[in-house]
């Protein structure tokens, strides 16, 4: 697990003798490029309806995925339905116009956090 924090090869170049060398300080810089940034928010109305929005950013040398996501959800008793739509921010993205959905069934109700039963 911890090896993934030091596995970036860095910028490799061939010196005058034909040997491969790694540019000094480039390994750490490439490790920083592997960090994905994302942010999102949700508004939940009456524990029944939800609307969501988010943003995802990946470095251009590591995949260049950048997109906005918009979504909505509804919850009724044990059933939840969530929909989201991805708006790609890069040209020719395979994620362009992607529609995702999930259907959830909640079996059992967690009443352990309710202090009124004490």
Question: Scanning the structure block, which residue is given the tokens 């994905």?
Answer: 36
**CB-based contacts of 27, cutoff 8 Å, min separation 6:** 6, 8, 9, 10
Structural element, H or E, at residue 42: strand 37-45
Q: What is the pTM of this model?
A: 0.70
Whether 106 and 78 have beta carbons less than 8 Å apart is answered as yes
- Residues 53-89: pLDDT tens digits? 999 999 988 888 999 999 999 999 899 999 999 999 9
- Residues 22-31: pLDDT tens digits? 777 777 888 8
Whether 37 and 59 have beta carbons less than 8 Å apart is answered as no
DSSP letter, residue 109: -
């Amino acid at each position: 697990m911890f090896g993934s924090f030091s596995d970036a090869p860095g910028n490799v170049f061939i010196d005058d003798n034909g040997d491969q060398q790694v540019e000094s300080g480039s390994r750490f810089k490439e490790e920083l490029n592997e960090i994905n940034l994302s942010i999102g928010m949700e508004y939940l109305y009456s524990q029944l309806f939800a609307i969501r929005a988010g943003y995802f950013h990946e470095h251009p040398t590591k995949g260049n995925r950048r997109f906005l996501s918009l979504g909505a959800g509804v919850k009724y008793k044990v059933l939840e339905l969530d929909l989201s739509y991805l708006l790609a921010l890069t040209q020719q993205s395979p994620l362009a116009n992607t529609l995702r959905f999930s259907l959830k069934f909640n079996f059992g109700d967690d009443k352990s956090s309710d202090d009124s039963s004490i």
